[in-house]
Amino acid sequence: MPLSPSDRALGDLLVGRRIITLPQLDEAIELSEKWNVRLGDALLSRNWIEPRRYFETYAQNFDLPFVDLIRDPPDRALLRAEEADIYANRLTMPWRRNEGRLLIATAEPGPETVLYARRRWGADIEFVVASKFDIVFAVQTAFAEALSRRAVFELAELDPKMSARTVFTIPQMIVAYALLSIVLAGLALAPIKTLIALNIAISIFYLGNFVFKGILVSIGGGRSADIDETIAVEARALRTEDLPVFTVLVPMFREAAMLPQLAQALRRLDYPLGKLDIKIVLEASDRETIEAARSLGLEGVFEIIIVPPSQPQTKPKACNFALRFARGEYLVVYDAEDRPDPDQLRKVVATFRRSPPNTACLQCRLNYYNASENWLTRMFTLDYALWFDQVLPGLERLGMPIPLGGTSNHFRIDVLRELHAWDPFNVTEDADLGIRIGQKGYRVGVVDSTTFEEASCRTGQWLRQRSRWIKGYMQTLLVHTRRPLQLLRNTGPLGFLGFVFFIGGTVLAGLLNPLFWLFYAFWLVASAVNIDVIFPQILLLLCLFNLLAGNGAFTYLIMLAPIRRGWLDLIPFSFTLFGYWVLISLAAYKALWQLLRNPFFWEKTQHGMSRHAAAQFAETGGGP
C-alpha cells in the first residue's frame, strides 16, 4: 500500500532534521509499503530512532503539542477503569482539561482517531501527542490495582466453575468422602473382595491408559505429511501486507540474562517486525530484569509491561494482565528461553485461515535444543517428542480436547478474551485453557512448527518443574470433573475418555506406579505366598498383561518418538524409561503434597542452566 501523505511529510521532516538519513527513509518507506504499516512502525522496528524523538517529531508533523505522560501523568478523574483496554488498544486516552476543553493524548493522531474521539468524548476536545510507551505505561500506572485484580479474579468471578481458585468443591469432597467410606467399609467387612475390586478397577485403568496412548501415537504418527507441506507452502506464499498484527507475550521473572537471546530469537522470526506487538511481561518486584530490559535499547516493537505485585504471583496472572494491552489479531506466549522456528507465525496464520471457524488456538510442537546434555535431558526430549510429535496430533485427529503445552500456543485474541483467558490459580494454566476451549465449543489445532526450549538438566530443577505440571494437571482434573455430565456433553464420549486418560492417566499413573512396583517386588520376593489372595488367576493374568504389555508399549512408544526428527541416537535411552518413571512418581507425590498444602504456589523453573545456554551467555555477555 502506498505511503500516506502525512507519513511522507513525516519522513521528510525526519530527514530534514537529520534524525534519520535518506537511505534509512527510503528503506523505511519500502518496508512500510511492503508490510502495510505506518512509517513510524517501520522506523521503530529498525531501531533507527528513539521512540520519544519519533513521537516528538510526529507531534510537530501534525502541529500538535507533545506531552511526556511519565512527567505529566493524566488526570485520574478523567479516566475510567472499564475503558483501560480501549485506551491501551487505541493508544488514545483523556489526559487533562484545559479551559473547559478535554485534551486527548494519542500516539496515533489521524482521521480515524479524531472520529473515534469525537464519538466517545464529544466535539469539545483537543489532541496532544504522546509516545505509545507512555500511554501504555500511564494506563498500567493508573489502573494497576484494577487491572491486577481483574487479571487475578476475572475467571473466578465470571465463570467460577472453571476456576481452580476453589481447589475442592463441596460436592467433590462429599463424593470423595463417600468413596473412601465405601472402601473402608469394604475393607472392614470383606477385605479380600474389596482389595480384588480395587485391583480390578486399577488394572482396567492401566489397560485403558496404555491402549489409549498407543492408539493416539499410531494415529498421530500417521498425520499426513501432505497437510504440513501444504501449510508450509501457503505460509511462504502469504503476502506480507496481508499479515495481521501478532501479539507476542513473553512473561519473565528473574531472567535478565535471557533477554538478549530472547530478543535475537524474536528478531529471527520471518514476520514483519512492524506487525509484531511484543510484550515483555515483568513482575514489578523483579527490578533486575526491568533494568536490564530498559538498558538493552530494544527496538520500538518491544514493550515492557510491569505487572503490579499481588497474589498469586503466577505466569497466567502476568499474561492476563498483559493481555489487556495486546493489540494483535492473534497472540502467542513464548518463554524467555524459547527459540521458535522462524516461519512459525506465518504457518500459524496460514493454518488459522484454513481451519474451521471455531478454531481458537493452535499449538506448535515443543522440543529441546540441549537434548544431548545428559541422561535427564535425553529422557526429557524423548518425553516431549512423544507428547508433541505423536500424541497431540493424535488428539487433534480424533477431535479430542488438547491440553496445551507451556508455550507456543497461538490464540485468536477475541476468543481468548471471551474465555476470560488463563486461570491464574492453575499452575498448568495452558493445559486447563486447552480443555476449557474444548468445553466451550472451540477447538485446538496442531501446527507442524517447532519451538526449541531448554530442558531442565538438573534433577532438583526437573522435579520442581514436573511437580508443578502434575499439580496443575490435578487442578485441571478437579476443575473439569466438577460437572462430569457437562464435560461429557461438551466434549463427546471420545473427548471425555481422552480427558480421563490423558489428564487423569498422567496423574494417577505417577501416583499408583510405585505401589504396584512394591507389590510386584513383594510378589517376587515372597514367592506369592501372601499376596495371591488378591490376585485371582484371571486378575493376575490381566496384571501381568498390563505389566508386560504396558511397559513394552510405553518403552516402544518412547523409542519411536525421536524417529520423526531423525534423532536416532536417543533410541537406546528408551530402555532406561523406568528410571524416568521413578522421577515422575517422585514429582507426582510432591505435587499431591503441594496441592493439599500450597495449591497455588508456582515452582519457578530456572532457565539458562545448560551448557548450551552458558555458551550463548559467553557470546552475549549474560549469565544466570
Partner 1 sequence: MNRALATVPLTVLVFIAVLVLVAVAVRNGVIGDDALRLWAGASTAADGQFPIGRIVAAYPTLPFLSTTLIAWFTPGDAPAPALVTAGLLALIAGFCFHSFRKAGFSDIRAGAASLLVAFHPALLRAIVAGPADMFLAAFLLVFCLALYDLRARSGTSEVMGVGLALMALAFSHPMGAAFAFASVLFLAFAVRPFLVANSALNVVVALIFPTLFAISAFSYVSWVFPGDGWTFFAAPTQSLSRWAASESHLLGDGALLSLDTSLVMAVALALSAPIAVVMLVIVHRRRPLIMPAAVFIASAIAAALISVVSGFFGDPSAIIVAAPILAAVVVMRVPLACEHRVLATALLMLGWFGGLAGVIMVDPLTVNRLRTAVERQSGERVDALAAGGAAARDDGVLADVVNAPAFLLGRGGARGIFGPASEPFALAMLFDRIDTPFIAVPDPHSNTGAQDRLNRAFPSLFSAGLHGYRVIYQNNTWRLFARIADISSSKD
* Nearer Cβ to partner 1 (458/564): 564
Q: Does residue number 506 form part of the binding site for partner 1 (CB under 8 A)?
A: no
> What would the x/- binding string for partner 1 be over residues 169 to 208, using CB under 8 A?
----------------------------------------
Stretch that binds partner 1, among 51-59, 346-354, 424-432, 556-564 (CB under 8 A): 556-564
Stretch that binds partner 1, among 150-158, 337-345, 367-375, 557-565 (CB under 8 A): 557-565
Q: What's the grid cell of residue 99?
A: 479551559
Question: Which residue shows C-alpha cell 494491552?
Answer: 325
Stretch that binds partner 1, among 203-211, 311-319, 443-451, 552-560 (CB under 8 A): 552-560
Minimum CB distance to partner 1, residue 367 (Å): 14
Q: Does residue number 564 form part of the binding site for partner 1 (CB under 8 A)?
A: yes
Q: How far apart are the first and last CA of the chain?
A: 45
User: Rounded to a whole number, what is the largest CA-CA distance in the chain?
Assistant: 95
* Nearer Cβ to partner 1 (214/342): 214
Q: Does residue number 538 form part of the binding site for partner 1 (CB under 8 A)?
A: yes
CA distances to 321, 511, 525, 546 from 518, in Å: 47, 12, 10, 15
* Nearer Cβ to partner 1 (483/564): 564
* Nearer Cβ to partner 1 (478/557): 557
One residue of 160, 171, 222, 484 binding partner 1 per CB under 8 A: 222
- Taking the C-alpha atoms of 176, 180, 181 and 183 in order, what is their torsion angle to the nearest 10 degrees? 140
* Nearer Cβ to partner 1 (390/426): 390
One residue of 25, 217, 332, 509 binding partner 1 per CB under 8 A: 217
Q: CB of 471 within 8 A of CB of 594?
A: yes
Q: Does residue number 465 form part of the binding site for partner 1 (CB under 8 A)?
A: no
Phi, psi torsion values for 395, nearest 5 degrees: -60, -40
One residue of 357, 537, 597, 621 binding partner 1 per CB under 8 A: 537
One residue of 221, 399, 492, 514 binding partner 1 per CB under 8 A: 221
The string of DSSP codes covering 193-237 is HHHHHHHHHHHHHHHHHHHHHHHHHHHHHT--HHHHHHHHHHHHH
Q: Does residue number 555 form part of the binding site for partner 1 (CB under 8 A)?
A: yes
Q: How far is it, in rounded angstroms, from Cα 480 to Cα 484?
A: 7
- Residues 567-596 contacting partner 1, CB under 8 A: 568-569, 571-572
One residue of 5, 566, 597, 621 binding partner 1 per CB under 8 A: 566
Q: CB of 219 within 8 A of CB of 248?
A: no
Q: How far is it, in rounded angstroms, from Cα 505 to Cα 512?
A: 10
One residue of 390, 409, 456, 461 binding partner 1 per CB under 8 A: 390
Q: How far is it, in rounded angstroms, from Cα 197 to Cα 288?
A: 57
- Taking the C-alpha atoms of 140, 143, 146 and 151 in order, what is their torsion angle to the nearest 10 degrees? -20
